Amino acid sequence: MRKTLHALALAAVTATSLISTAAAAPAATPYVPGTLRPSADQATQDAALMKYWNFWKTNFLSTKCGSGTYAVLSKDADHAYVAEGEGYGMTIAAMMGSKDTQARAIFDGILKFVKAHPSVNNKDLHAAEQDANCKSVNGSDSATDGDLEIAYGLLIADKVWGSSGSVNYLAEAKRVINAIKKSEVNSSSHYMLLGDWGNDAEYKNSSRSSDWMPGHFRAFAKATGDSTWTTIRTTHENAITKLQSQYASSTGLLPDFVVNTNSTPKPAPANFLEGQYDGAYSWNACRDPWRLGADAITADGSAAKAQVRKMNSWIQTKTGGDPAKIGSGYKLSGSATESGEHPCFTAPFAVAAMTDPGSQAWLDKLFTQITKFSPDKTDYYGTGITLQVLIILSGNFVAP
């Protein structure tokens, strides 16, 4: 998103359903050999997942935007509804498809909301922000992170439910994927743009590291047969390696925003787009260990494995092996930028830990720390990220 997710917003509308706790979903993707899982038994892992799923549904789903519509409330963002939140909702609901009878209705309801709010620049993308009255605001243009997740969620839905029902999920996914390529990818450098508004002189050679999701690009190439997505993936993989080497050799951390993507990528300066920590590992880049880690544990030979292992090794040393000491942001050199613990920084490191065979004890500590968190009904961002990490930790992740 364009703004750092902090401020409080609106009250939630609740949703309930029938829940069944079971083992990993039938559509779940096997992890590559050597991937760690928490030592806790499967029932404990599933219970932690269902706790967050139920909490998320109760506190962050709204039905006020139209009949048959669901929308994810982003209470700690700048607007009541943001594209990233809708994308998260679709991905989460699809992955929970075998565990909750209501999951498909939630997914289809969010998709209905998304399609009712197209971007002014490309009707196949989603307008990034809606107000409390469900009206698109702030230019009605798109945010790349939201569209990437919407397309990915549609591919998961196709894998979980198939596309022969009332919604052709695969066709919908391809529609959005093609629109992302057209309007949210720099056609010269193959870097992701910030949104369909980002292809101008000021922003065309900049990108958000948390949009560098190799698993998404891998899935898009598979679904469309378009090799451009492989080029896009390798472009970002190479950039991560170079940024780690040149700017974060001891930490492996990535900055929220990257500039100079047309030549030699480097961290953005302070106040480039959102705030003083735009060139640091902050409220956007905190997702990187999760996003990169997800590809590392599902795609054999992924470049992300070595990349997240650097992050994993550093954070263990930084905290002395105590997850409670993970801070809320760091300079790329490793010094803290903001104090205090927040789940959106803690939880993603658990996915990174899964990639390292020597990190079982550390992973178990992270799992314990994550499950000790009391979900916050005003924290859409942290709750949504933690829920998605628990899907991965519990073995229910679906890589389309």
Indicate the DSSP class of residue 20. Answer: -
Does 145 qualify as catalytic in the annotation?
A: yes
Distance (Å, whole) CA 156 – CA 169: 9
Rounded-to-10 torsion of CA 216, 48, 376, 255: -30
Does 86 qualify as catalytic in the annotation?
A: no
Helix (H, G, I), strand (E, B) or coil at 129: strand
Which residue out of 46, 76, 84, 278 is catalytically annotated?
Answer: 84
How many DSSP H helices and E strands does the chain contain?
A: 12, 7
Which residue out of 76, 100, 108, 145 is catalytically annotated?
Answer: 145
**Long-range contacts of the stretch 203-207 (C-beta < 8 A, 24+):** 203/273, 204/262, 205/259, 205/260, 205/261, 205/262, 205/263, 206/257, 206/258, 206/259, 206/261, 206/268, 206/272, 206/273, 207/257, 207/258, 207/261, 207/265
* Residue 8, both tokens: 């409080």
Residues in the chain: 400
Distance (Å, whole) CA 38 – CA 344: 19
342 vs 53, 76, 147, 161, 373, CA distance in Å?
19, 13, 25, 34, 9
Distance (Å, whole) CA 1 – CA 5: 8
- Asked if 247 and 225 touch (Cβ cutoff 8 Å), the reply is no
Least Cα distance to 79 among 38, 126, 20, 136 occurs for 136
Indicate the DSSP class of residue 163. Answer: S
Residues recognised as catalytic: 84, 145
